[in-house]
């Protein structure tokens, strides 16, 4: 039995820690290895583009009015303890605790009118654009990474979707779930060769043949696909190299601060290796109490990591191909509570988007005077996803997939990308 899990847990106010894990039993497959297929695809030049998305979930619900939608003219019980600082784009101000991001506001856009949350502590919505109950009887809506895996497949010897925070394949089924590395050392060790590894998994395939014949759920076939992808990662070495931060230039690592940037730097290395979607959680933002004390610890770290990632992508010429989105499940209350905290707030939140060849250096939408409700240009979570799909080369207006009941399903209900971000506008 193999267990792959994220290393850290952040408990939320409902008392439920989120730790995404996956358990695999005996797996096997026969015949041509996926790693071989991918190498042949690369030789033939048939691989798809290197368009990619790095999806960062700020777990717990980030305080929009203390980060990117500050209201300095309101009473102290609304505006809180932080002051806004000017950015390098006239008219855009963000929290004083994010000076590095302030210097590069021309390289990202902020949506200040995000709405449509399901209102729960879950990253399901930032994976899919939908609430967990949508199409639940069919398995639920598939995550962005699962959709990309289904529509664009593997290329360049890398899994299309690597996730450190789960992600439901939904009605697409288990074959389209994310690959979740459990560590950084994914190399063959000791006397294990590629041929010997193939022999072992082929043996497992033959031992599983009886169970495969009676498996009506398709789980055995799905596990075969997952095994192929996992073994392909180990034998190709490309993704293993990307996961190993020791292979990064020390000067670049240092830009990401302590621990070499962790998932932020690793995400950049993975998209360079050909991964199309990388998703992870960062931090804990459920600040019902001591909101400002907590953010004094969180925001400077996020500032360093996110600014380093955005600059790194620009320096490598990846800003036209790789989209970064950082957001959470909802906003926080306008009024500070009696514990110096902010509670859950569904009507409005914010999102930061960078790269993807988008028109950056702008804010989109606006909340009202106290950051309580959308006042101008509401942007639904699914409109953000429509933009991500557009940037990945998929037309969200027309793309469909077939659900288990045989019915065609659009990827989204709100299918128009954010027009302000598109270069053609």
pLDDT band (50, 70, 90) for residue 179: confident
Cα 85 to Cα 104: distance, rounded to the nearest angstrom: 13
Task: Report the CATH fold assignment for 35-197+229-421.
Answer: Alkaline Phosphatase, subunit A (3.40.720)
Which residues sit opposite 109 in a β-bridge?
353, 362
* Better-scored residue on pLDDT, 127 or 29: 127
Taking residues 394-419, report their average pLDDT.
Answer: 97
Alpha-carbon dihedral sign for residues 274, 280, 282, 288: positive
pLDDT averaged over the chain?
Answer: 84
Helix H segments across 156-218? 194-207, 209-214
Delimit the domains of the chain by residue range.
35-197+229-421
Q: What is the DSSP string of 368-390?
A: -TTSSSEEE--EEHHHHHHHHHH
Token couple for 121: 């502590």
Position 193 pLDDT exceeds 50: no
Cα 101 to Cα 117: distance, rounded to the nearest angstrom: 26
Q: Which of 375, 256, 364, 313 is nearest to 51 (CA)?
A: 313
Contact 298, 67 (CB under 8 A): no
Out of 39-48, 200-209, 297-306, pick the least confident.
Answer: 39-48
Question: In the chain, what percentage of residues exceed pLDDT 90?
Answer: 68
Token couple for 120: 């729960």
| Torsion on CA atoms 385, 391, 393, 395, rounded to nearest 10 | 40
Q: What is the pLDDT of residue 225?
A: 56
Cα 343 to Cα 334: distance, rounded to the nearest angstrom: 9
Coil, strand or helix: which one is 302? helix
Taking residues 167-191, report their average pLDDT.
Answer: 74
Contact 350, 112 (CB under 8 A): yes
pLDDT band (50, 70, 90) for residue 424: low
Q: What is the pLDDT of residue 205?
A: 52
Cα 69 to Cα 66: distance, rounded to the nearest angstrom: 7
Cα 256 to Cα 308: distance, rounded to the nearest angstrom: 6
Out of 154-158, 225-229, 278-282, pick the least confident.
Answer: 225-229
Position 29 pLDDT exceeds 60: no
Which H or E element spans position 244?
none
Q: Which residue has the tokens 């000791």?
A: 190
Contact 329, 285 (CB under 8 A): no
Alpha-carbon dihedral sign for residues 418, 102, 248, 240: negative
Q: What is the pLDDT of residue 92?
A: 98
Position 395 pLDDT exceeds 80: yes
Q: What is the pLDDT of residues 266-277, one digit of tens each?
A: 999 999 999 999
Q: What is the pLDDT of residues 360-382, one digit of tens each?
A: 999 999 999 999 999 999 999 99
Cα 403 to Cα 408: distance, rounded to the nearest angstrom: 6
Which pTM was predicted? 0.83
Q: What is the largest CA-CA distance in the chain?
A: 70
Question: Based on the number of CB atoms within 10 Å of its own CB, is 45 exposed (0-12), middle (13-18) or buried (19 or more)?
Answer: exposed
Q: What is the pLDDT of residues 114-167, one digit of tens each?
A: 999 999 999 999 999 999 999 999 999 999 999 999 999 876 668 899 999 998
Coil, strand or helix: which one is 19? coil
Cα 136 to Cα 404: distance, rounded to the nearest angstrom: 12
Taking residues 8-37, report their average pLDDT.
Answer: 47
């Amino acid at each position: 039995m193999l267990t792959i899990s994220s290393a850290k847990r952040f408990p939320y106010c409902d008392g439920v820690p989120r730790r995404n894990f996956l358990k695999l039993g005996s797996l096997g497959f026969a015949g041509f290895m996926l790693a071989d297929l991918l190498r042949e695809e690369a030789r033939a030049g048939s691989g798809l583009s290197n368009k990619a998305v790095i999806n960062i979930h700020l777990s717990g619900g980030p305080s929009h009015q203390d980060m990117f939608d500050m209201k300095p003219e309101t009473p102290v019980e609304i505006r809180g303890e932080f002051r806004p600082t000017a950015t390098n784009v006239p008219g855009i101000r963000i929290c004083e605790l994010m000076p590095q991001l302030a210097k590069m506001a021309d390289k990202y856009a902020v949506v200040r009118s995000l709405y449509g949350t399901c209102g729960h502590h879950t990253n399901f919505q930032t994976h899919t654009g939908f609430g967990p109950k949508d199409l639940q009887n069919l398995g639920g809506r598939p995550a962005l990474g699962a959709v990309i895996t289904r529509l664009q497949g593997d290329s360049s010897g890398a899994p299309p979707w690597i996730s450190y925070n789960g992600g439901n394949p939904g009605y697409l089924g288990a074959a389209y779930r994310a690959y979740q590395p459990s560590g950084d050392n994914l190399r063959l060790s000791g006397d294990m060769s590629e041929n010997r590894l193939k022999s072992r998994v082929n043996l497992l395939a033959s031992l599983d043949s009886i169970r495969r014949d009676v498996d009506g759920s398709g789980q055995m076939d799905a596990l075969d696909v997952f095994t192929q992808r996992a073994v392909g990662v180990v034998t190709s070495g490309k993704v293993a190299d990307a996961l190993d931060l020791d292979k990064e230039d020390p000067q670049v690592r240092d830009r990401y601060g302590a621990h070499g940037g962790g998932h932020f730097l690793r995400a950049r290395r993975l998209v360079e290796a050909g991964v199309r979607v990388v998703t992870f959680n960062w931090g804990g933002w459920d600040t019902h109490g001591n909101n400002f004390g907590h953010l004094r610890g969180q925001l400077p770290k996020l500032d360093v990591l996110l600014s380093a990632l955005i600059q790194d992508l620009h320096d490598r010429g990846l800003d036209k191909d790789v989209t970064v989105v950082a957001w959470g499940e909802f906003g926080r209350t306008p009024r500070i509570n009696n514990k110096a905290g902010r509670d859950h707030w569904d009507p409005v939140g914010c999102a930061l988007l960078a790269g993807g060849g988008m028109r950056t250096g702008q804010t989109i939408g606006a909340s009202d005077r106290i950051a309580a409700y959308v006042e101008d240009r509401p942007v639904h979570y699914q409109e953000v996803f429509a933009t991500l799909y557009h940037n990945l080369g998929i037309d969200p207006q027309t793309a469909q997939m077939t659900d288990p009941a045989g019915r065609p399903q659009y990827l989204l209900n709100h299918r128009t990308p954010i027009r302000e971000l598109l270069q053609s506008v």
